[in-house]
Amino acid sequence: MAAGTQPTVVDWTADGRGVRVLDQRALPHETIWLDCRTTPEAVEAIRTLAVRGAPAIGVAGAIALAAAAVRLAEALGTPAAFAAAVGADAAALRAARPTAVNLPWAIDRMLAVGAGAGADPRAAAAAMRAEATALRDEDRAMCAAIGRHGLALVRDGARVLTHCNAGALATAGIGTALAPVYAAVAAGRRVAVLANETRPLWQGARLTAWELAQAGIPVTVCADALAATLMRRGTVDLVLVGADRICANGDVVNKVGTYGGALAARAHGVPCYVAAPWSTVDAATPHGDAVEIEQRARDEVARPGGLAIVPDGVPVENPAFDVTPAAYVTAIITDRGVHRPPYSFT
Ligand code: MRU
């Protein structure tokens, strides 16, 4: 999966009546494509992380809602019944995961286009269908732009520490945090990636390692707890992570563990960059403490791979994301450029 050759991990089904995703629950062992032709199937795919990563769930939500509109326009005669059913599906998709702003952003965009197309359900569905395809293509273009803007930050020989997976598997393009890595490699630079394993769902170990290995880019998986030591040893040149939401003040919400990495980076003088498309910037939310952090199931921590490692009855904390205060972020790379504090995202 070298830059430019990544598979599209979220797209329309071949018949145009649903959303097709690469089922990331099965990686790295199996490559399985999952076709969701009902809204509950799409909600389940998002909720269970078959498709994941903020940009990818935005694209998945958009295609799922547009596909629902196409199906509903055929089945439901009256504009009122169509609008009510599309609204219900939009609410279900929006609620699938609460933290990444890309999902409600994409759903709102689809609803606005549908409403703007007039009362005829078939016209609304056609407009939503075109909009979902455009949103997918824009995401791909934004990833490429992030790569171009971030290229200067990844010099020849760079050792990049990343957390979770913010690569091609998390977007419709070449990724966000990994986009500058792909761009640097395409420019002939040697880059080595240190991938935090990313407990409890192992997106670093399972997904980032798989994706980079496919691309032939050197990658080493590290226990999350090792990150600070690697920085103290001087074996990390930069930290490069993605985001699920970037607030107006520059606070970054991303996979739990990002904050600890940013703290360690600051302590050891390592720059910490966040890369995200403009669709992840939420200028309406003032700071990170105003963001709903998704709380996930106990068993993700207590029973990894089905093996019980926490005594019965002992509670577990499992927030999927954390907040990195803006003060610990060196700069934010978007498709519009490299932003440094003080931020102005309006
Ligand atoms: O729970 P996940 O796997 O969806 O979390 C993903 C992340 O935290 C990513 O870093 C973020 O969505 C950016 S993906 C380009």
pLDDT by 10s per residue, the chain, length 346: 444 466 779 999 999 999 999 999 999 999 999 999 999 999 999 999 999 999 999 999 999 999 999 999 999 779 999 999 999 999 999 999 999 999 999 999 999 999 999 889 999 999 999 999 999 999 999 999 999 999 999 999 999 999 999 999 999 999 999 999 999 999 999 999 999 999 999 999 999 999 999 999 999 999 999 999 999 999 999 999 999 999 999 999 999 999 999 999 999 999 999 999 999 999 999 999 999 999 999 999 999 999 999 999 999 999 999 999 999 999 999 999 999 999 999 7
Tokens 């403009």 belong to which residue?
Answer: 278
Backbone angles phi, psi at 240, to 5 degrees: -140, 115
pLDDT score of 8: 79
Give the mutation target among 164, 239, 332 for probing the ligand 1 site: most ligand atoms within 8 A of CB.
164
Atom of ligand 1 nearest to the CA of 100: 12
User: Which amino acid makes up residue 38?
Assistant: T
Q: How far apart are the first and last CA of the chain?
A: 35
242 in contact with ligand 1, CB cutoff 6 A: yes
CA of 166 to the centre of ligand 1 (A): 6
320 in contact with ligand 1, CB cutoff 6 A: yes
196 in contact with ligand 1, CB cutoff 6 A: no
Out of 23, 89, 224, 244, which one is annotated catalytic? Answer: 244
Identify the three-state secondary structure at position 83: helix
Cβ atoms 208, 193 nearer than 8 A: yes
What counts of helices (H) and strands (E) characterise the chain? 10, 14
Task: State the sign of the Cα–Cα–Cα–Cα dihedral 222, 225, 226, 227.
Answer: positive
CA of 242 to the centre of ligand 1 (A): 7
Q: Atom 5 in ligand 1: which residue has the minimum CA distance? A: 53
255 in contact with ligand 1, CB cutoff 6 A: yes
Spatial distance between the Cα atoms of 165 and 177, rounded to a whole number of angstroms: 8
CA of 139 to the centre of ligand 1 (A): 15
Strand order, beta sheet including 10-12: 10-12, 19-22, 33-36
pLDDT score of 5: 62
Structure tokens that stand for 274 in this block: 């966040």
Number of other CB atoms surrounding residue 313 within 10 Å: 5
User: Which amino acid makes up residue 69?
Assistant: A
Cβ atoms 178, 211 nearer than 8 A: yes
Q: Where are the alpha helices (DSSP H) in 187-278?
A: 209-215, 227-233, 258-267
DSSP H or E run through 320: none
Based on the residue annotation, tell me whether 244 is a catalytic residue of this protein: yes
Spatial distance between the Cα atoms of 230 and 265, rounded to a whole number of angstroms: 10
pLDDT score of 1: 47
pLDDT score of 6: 65
243 in contact with ligand 1, CB cutoff 6 A: yes
pLDDT score of 65: 98
Question: What contacts 24+ positions apart, CB below 8 Å, involve 31-39?
Answer: 36/64, 37/13, 37/67, 37/71, 39/64, 39/65, 39/68, 39/89, 39/92, 39/93
Q: Atom 8 in ligand 1: which residue has the minimum CA distance? A: 255
Cβ atoms 167, 242 nearer than 8 A: no
166 in contact with ligand 1, CB cutoff 6 A: yes
Residues in CB range of 259: below 8 A, 6 or more apart: 322, 323, 324, 325, 328
CA of 231 to the centre of ligand 1 (A): 23
CA of 200 to the centre of ligand 1 (A): 13
Cis peptide before 79 (omega within 30 of 0): no
pLDDT score of 84: 96
Give the mutation target among 10, 142, 165 for probing the ligand 1 site: most ligand atoms within 8 A of CB.
165
Q: Atom 10 in ligand 1: which residue has the minimum CA distance? A: 242
pLDDT score of 104: 98
pLDDT score of 76: 74
59 in contact with ligand 1, CB cutoff 6 A: no
Instruction: Indicate the Cα dihedral angle 264, 266, 270, 275, nearest 10°.
Output: 90
Give the pTM: 0.97
pLDDT score of 311: 98
Task: Please list the helix, strand and coil fractions of the chain in percent, rounded to the nearest 5, in that order.
Answer: 45, 15, 40
334 in contact with ligand 1, CB cutoff 6 A: no
Backbone angles phi, psi at 332, to 5 degrees: -115, 125
Identify the three-state secondary structure at position 336: coil
CA of 160 to the centre of ligand 1 (A): 17
